[in-house]
């Protein structure tokens, strides 16, 4: 083996290039047709969403060519459904279409009216149930699968609706709903309705039942069993997201799993799935999150026992959007590992093989050239000595080494109710393969470590997240893993807020900062953001006007004069979640005081980057900024 060449940390030639990052696909969801053999998935290609179909024994082919598939209720998700040889999808303008999987043109089955999501086909393939929003009013609506009749409102009254599902007898539906000021991980309702056909020929609701309505209990992902005798769901009542069953005949609720690990994950988007039932209803396959690493587990309905599934899937550290073939029982996922990009795969329980349908990247980089994350933890500086969690990516190269200690990127995830997981992290690899240490901070408020850990940030946003980021950086320095004089903090959205707040509260601690569409003014965020989050701050900071002093104290813009460290700010021009004014007020202060900074506004981009040209420009800009202000400073 050849000796490694010496080259300064942060300047290592990397196989992870901005152009290659820009050309990768985004894989977001998948579903089986009712034949149990045809798999459909959604690919993000630059700023377009494309449905792809893989019939049995045939090569995959694109279904949508001119229409971009993208549901836009809240943060999106729930873009399409499949059944009876058709896919039902939401185009970017919000309209619902039907397209045959065998080939042919897509036709709209509803008028252009508001936005739609989660098209859910009835078991008899006659009806499509969907989430609908128009001028701030959300609900569930229904249309016949061929679109020959006008759609009809079905269920309204709550502020939000999500995850509708059908009973196998086509006569009942269940769903999740919730009301302001709750978020879907705070407290939700589980409801069920009985349907009958009215004189117009469309189903109407004749009876509605509230199955669960408990304060501070969040329910998600209802699904009827194949025999129609029970309703499965996920609840966090125990302090963790576990599987439960509701017996439709007896009315009894009971827990199925008691894991100190999360089966569900926060419902930031429509259409999230973390479990599914075998066609005979005897096994429940579920994805269990343990400190950011996801494993497949199975619960035996007859035995009442749960176990981890040991299989070729062990090669993956992240499994998303489990879908189970209704005929064969084959499992499909979006899978990745720390050194393998996302793939659409399928696996038949008991077999030794995994079938790969699609790779999001070319996978041209040998795994040994990439960094493998290590779960780490440190102690918070509070009276309880709370444990804080993270994922550490060491610098990685087979050809280069350096003397001394590496610069470090302290990465803050968004949300703030979110989690950095061990899925393939292109951003982490971009930095680690250049000779940076990279720490993903799962600060208090993150999910995946129990409900109490998540709830710790309520009322403390801008305090605990900042402290955990600082302590995480100190952990790296004290452990001899990073150069304390070359620390960089980076984050987007809520993570961008933590970046700004850390610069305000701890000037000089970080050598530089990277802020992506970060929040700077809590007052305008509460006033200007989209409906989904317009009351989020009630729990994170407090309700207005009572908490106005806290809003002012926690808003970086009112203390922007304390920001003295070099910073690059990146913003999408049409971002409706964190509008560009949030960045530009900070930029104005930096300009006034001659603080080293850069501001990059990307036309046509919203809350995150989709266009290839934006992604390539972003990474190229970041690399040069760090050379100027960290490596050569």
pLDDT digits (tens, 9 = 90+) for 358-377: 999 888 899 999 999 999 99
| CB-based contacts of 104, cutoff 8 Å, min separation 6 | none
- C-alpha dihedral sign at 118, 119, 121, 126: positive
Q: Output phi, psi for 31, to 5 deg.
A: -160, 150
Residues 6+ apart with CB under 8 A from 235: 212, 217, 218, 219, 241, 242, 244, 255
Contacts of 221 (CB under 8 A, 6+ apart): 163, 176, 232, 233, 234, 264, 272, 273, 274, 275
- Terminus-to-terminus CA distance in the chain, angstroms? 34
Q: Determine how many CB atoms are found less than 10 A away from the CB of residue 64.
A: 22
Quote the CA–CA distance of 432 and 426 in Å, as a whole number: 10
Instruction: Render pLDDT for 66-124 as a digit per residue (tens, 0 to 9).
Output: 899 999 999 899 999 999 999 999 999 999 999 999 989 999 999 999 999 999 999 99
CA distances from 78 to 106, 252, 272 (A): 18, 30, 8
Label the pairing between strands 437-442 and 387-393: antiparallel
Q: What span, in angstroms and rounded, lies between the C-alpha atoms of 271 and 250?
A: 29
Mean pLDDT of 424-443: 96
For residue 319, the Cα-to-chain-centroid distance in whole angstroms is: 12
Residue 516: predicted pLDDT: 97
Interacting residues of 209 by C-beta distance below 8 A, sequence separation 6+: 191, 192, 193
* Distance in angstroms (rounded) separating the CA atoms of residues 74 and 271: 12
pLDDT band at 199 (very low <50, low <70, confident <90, very high): confident
Strand order from edge to edge, sheet including 26-32: 26-32, 39-45, 48-54, 61-62
Distances (CA, A) of 419 to 432, 495, 569: 20, 11, 23
- Comparing CA positions, the residue from 43, 48, 609, 611 lying closest to residue 360 is 43
**Each residue's pLDDT tens digit, 405-415:** 999 999 999 99
Residue found by looking up tokens 């090569």 in the block: 59
Q: Indicate the pTM of the whole model.
A: 0.94
User: What pLDDT is attached to residue 610?
Assistant: 86
Distance, CA of 412 to CA of 24 (rounded, Å): 23
Contacts of 142 (CB under 8 A, 6+ apart): 127, 128, 129, 130, 151, 152, 154, 202, 203
pLDDT, tens only, 313-324 = 999 999 999 999
Strand partners, 378: 388
Name the 3-class secondary structure at 602. strand
Residues 254-286 have pLDDT tens digits of 999 998 889 989 999 999 999 999 999 999 999
Q: For residues 517-523, give the mean pLDDT.
A: 95
- % the chain with pLDDT above 90: 87
CA distance linking residue 518 with residue 496, whole number of Å: 4
Give the per-residue SS3 of 345-393.
Answer: EEECCCCCCEEEEEECCCCCCCHHHCCCCEEEEEECCCCCCCEEEEEEE
Give the SS3 label for residue 525.
helix
Q: In what order do the strands lie in the sheet containing 137-144? A: 115-121, 127-134, 137-144, 152-156
Tokens of 101: 């999987």
Cβ neighbourhood burial of 254 (10 Å; 0-12, 13-18, 19+): exposed
Task: Give me the chain's average pLDDT, please.
Answer: 94
Interval 604-624 mean pLDDT: 92
- Measured CA to CA, the distance from residue 508 to residue 386 in angstroms comes to 26
Burial code of 121-131, b = ≥16 C-beta within 10 A, e = fewer?
A: bbbeeebbbbb
**pLDDT of amino acid 385:** 87
3-state SS class at 169: coil
Tokens 């990768």, located at residue: 24
Tokens of 631: 């490596």
Q: In whole angstroms, how far apart are CA 512 and each of 481, 563, 566? A: 18, 11, 5
| Distance between CA atoms of residues 55 and 39, nearest Å | 7
Contact in structure between 418 and 493 (CB atoms under 8 Å): no
pLDDT of 603: 94
Contact (CB, 8 A) for 400 and 13: yes
pLDDT tier at 558, thresholds 50, 70, 90: very high
The C-alpha atoms of residue 614 and residue 616 are separated, in whole angstroms, by: 6
Residues in the chain: 633
d(CA 321, CA 287): 9
The pLDDT score that the predictor gives to residue 384 is 82
More confident residue, 139 or 199: 139
Tokens of 388: 């804080």
Is residue 208 within 8 Å of residue 192, measured between CB atoms? yes
How many whole angstroms separate alpha carbon 612 and alpha carbon 25? 10
pLDDT band at 1 (very low <50, low <70, confident <90, very high): low
pLDDT of residue 345: 97
Q: Tell me: pLDDT of 2 over 80.
A: no
Contacts of 597 by beta carbon, 8 Å cutoff, 6+ apart: 566, 567, 568, 569, 587, 590, 591
Rounded mean pLDDT of 332-348?
Answer: 95
Residue whose tokens read 């980021």: 469
Give yes or no for residue 216 having a pLDDT over 80: yes
Residues 130-179: pLDDT tens digits?
A: 999 999 999 999 999 999 999 999 999 999 999 999 999 999 999 999 99
Q: What is the mean pLDDT of residues 582-599?
A: 95
């Amino acid at each position: 083996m050849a000796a490694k060449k010496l080259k300064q940390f942060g300047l290592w030639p990397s196989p992870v290039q901005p152009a290659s990052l820009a050309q990768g696909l985004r894989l977001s969801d998948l579903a089986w047709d009712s034949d149990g053999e045809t798999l459909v998935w959604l690919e993000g290609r630059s700023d377009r969403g494309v449905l792809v179909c893989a019939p049995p024994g045939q090569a995959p082919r694109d279904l949508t060519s001119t229409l971009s598939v993208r549901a836009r209720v809240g943060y999106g998700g729930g873009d399409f459904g499949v059944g009876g040889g058709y896919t039902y999808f939401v185009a970017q303008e919000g309209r619902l279409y039907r397209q045959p999987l065998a080939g042919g043109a897509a036709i709209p089955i509803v008028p252009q009216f508001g936005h739609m999501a989660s098209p859910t086909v009835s078991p008899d393939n006659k009806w499509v149930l969907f989430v609908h929003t128009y001028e701030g009013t959300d609900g569930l609506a229904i249309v016949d699968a061929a679109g020959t009749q006008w759609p009809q409102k079905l269920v309204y009254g709550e502020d939000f609706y999500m995850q509708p599902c059908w009973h196998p007898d086509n006569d009942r539906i269940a769903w999740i709903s919730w009301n302001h000021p709750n978020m879907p991980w705070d407290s939700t309702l589980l409801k069920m309705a009985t349907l009958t056909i009215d004189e117009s020929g469309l189903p109407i609701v004749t009876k509605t039942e509230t199955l669960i309505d408990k304060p501070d209990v969040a329910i998600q992902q209802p699904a009827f069993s194949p025999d129609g005798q029970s309703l499965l769901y996920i609840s966090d009542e125990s302090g963790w997201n576990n599987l439960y069953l509701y017996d439709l005949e007896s009315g009894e609720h009971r827990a199925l799993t008691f894991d100190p690990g999360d089966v569900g994950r926060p419902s930031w988007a429509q259409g999230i799935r973390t479990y599914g039932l075998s066609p005979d209803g005897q096994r429940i396959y579920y994805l269990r999150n343990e400190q950011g690493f996801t494993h497949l587990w199975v619960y035996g309905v007859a035995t009442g026992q749960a176990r981890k599934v040991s299989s070729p899937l062990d090669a993956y550290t992240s499994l998303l959007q489990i879908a189970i073939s209704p005929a064969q029982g084959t499992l499909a996922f979006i899978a990745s590992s720390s050194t393998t990009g996302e793939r659409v795969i399928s696996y038949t329980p008991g077999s030794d093989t995994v079938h790969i349908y699609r790779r999001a990247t070319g996978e041209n980089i040998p795994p040994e050239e990439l960094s493998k994350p290590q779960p780490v933890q440190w102690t918070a500086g509070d009276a309880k000595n709370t444990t804080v969690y993270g994922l550490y990516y060491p610098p990685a190269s087979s050809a280069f080494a350096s003397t001394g200690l590496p610069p470090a990127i302290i990465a803050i995830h968004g949300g703030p109710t979110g989690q950095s997981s061990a899925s393939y992290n292109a951003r982490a690899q971009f930095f680690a393969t250049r000779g940076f240490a990279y720490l993903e901070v799962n600060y208090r408020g993150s999910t995946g470590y129990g409900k109490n850990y998540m709830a710790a940030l309520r009322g403390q946003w801008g305090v605990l997240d900042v402290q955990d980021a600082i302590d995480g950086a100190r952990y790296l320095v004290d452990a001899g893993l990073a150069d304390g004089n070359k620390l960089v903090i980076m984050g987007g959205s809520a993570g961008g807020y933590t970046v700004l707040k850390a610069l305000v509260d701890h000037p000089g601690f970080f050598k530089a900062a990277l802020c992506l569409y970060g929040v700077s003014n809590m007052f305008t965020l509460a006033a200007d953001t989209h409906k989904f989050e317009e009351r989020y701050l009630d729990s994170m900071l407090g309700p207005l006007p009572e908490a106005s002093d806290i809003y002012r104290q926690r808003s970086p813009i009112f203390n922007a004069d304390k920001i003295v460290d070099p910073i690059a700010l990146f913003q999408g021009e049409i971002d409706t979640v964190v509008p560009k004014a949030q960045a530009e007020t900070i930029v104005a202060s930096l300009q006034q005081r001659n603080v080293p900074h850069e501001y990059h506004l990307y036309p046509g981009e919203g809350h995150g980057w989709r266009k290839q040209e934006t992604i390539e420009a972003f990474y190229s800009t970041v690399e040069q900024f760090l050379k100027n202000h960290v490596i050569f400073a």
